[in-house]
Amino acid sequence: MFFTEKFKSRFELVTLYFGISTFFIHAAIIFFLKWGWLDAAFFPKNLFGNPFSALFSPFSSLLVYEVYLLIYYLRKSYTKSISKQLEIMALILLRNCFKDAGSLTDGTKLLFQSELIKDLTGFVLLMLLVWAFYYLDAKRVDFKVQLSERFILLKDRMAVVLMVVFFVLSIYSFSDWVIGLFHYSNSSAVLEDPSHIFYKEFFTLLTFADVLLLLSSAKNLKNTVLIIRNSGYVLATFLLRISFSLHGWERIFILVLGAAMAVFMLWISRRQVFLELKEE
């Protein structure tokens, strides 16, 4: 059901229309605040203080579709799902850039004191690593491994479980954040960064799912290099998850480190000496 081309096309349209709708709603709220039609005390300035912040919403919708694609490709190729993880983190940084730009356009912060320079640097470095990952993957000649029917069934069932969790968790996280927004003016607590909602929990679950798949596939991968490569992918996913608990340059560093780990594992596993071991 979740993995048919028909469902994929419909979900793509839903996220497209949702992104357009939220963009206009977000932009309308920002202009209503500027015209004094709404009370600014109810809306955090970093998300509603500048017209460019409205671009945060459509990128959020695009990210939802990218997460769907991550699970979609997990059934077919572990390497492809890793590339989707890197794309998701790059999109999160790009989305944050539009939110960060608001503090620069109104002159409240200098460039090197803003979060924009950090997110923009991280985005550029991450995209270079994504390019390198796709370049190496395009040159890859798959070594055919006979997987057991039980393992293939496990991957399918796990993908279904992740898809259900994805829908439930996304709805819950978004609803919980909106409720927090309604109580924003009555609470002295800072509203949670929308860049962190959903993704912390999802990447935690994804890390455990990757470990389970790795352990289950070990007997199918007779070549140790493939097991090490997949273990490196799991570590890369774990590093991406850690990034949601960090801030500033530390977050950018761990993101780039995680992406570099994924690229390195793909590159090293394709060296000629390891390919010759497979042929033997």
169 closest CA partner among 86, 264, 64, 242: 64
Mean pLDDT of the chain: 82
CA–CA distance, 12 with 25 (Å, rounded to integer): 20
Instruction: Name, of 50-64, 149-163, 241-255, the range with top average pLDDT.
Output: 241-255
Contacts of residue 153, Cβ cutoff 8 Å, sequence gap at least 6: none
pLDDT over 50 at 188, yes or no: no
**Distance of CA 149 to CAs 1, 58, 146, 153, 217, Å?**
20, 40, 9, 6, 11
Helix (H, G, I), strand (E, B) or coil at 75: coil
Residues of the chain with pLDDT > 90: what percent?
28
The per-residue pLDDT for range 174-185, each reduced to its tens digit, is 787 777 777 766
Q: State pTM to two decimals.
A: 0.86
In eight-state DSSP terms, residue 244 is: G
Q: What backbone phi and psi angles, to 5 degrees, belong to 124?
A: -60, -45
Residues of the chain with pLDDT > 70: what percent?
82
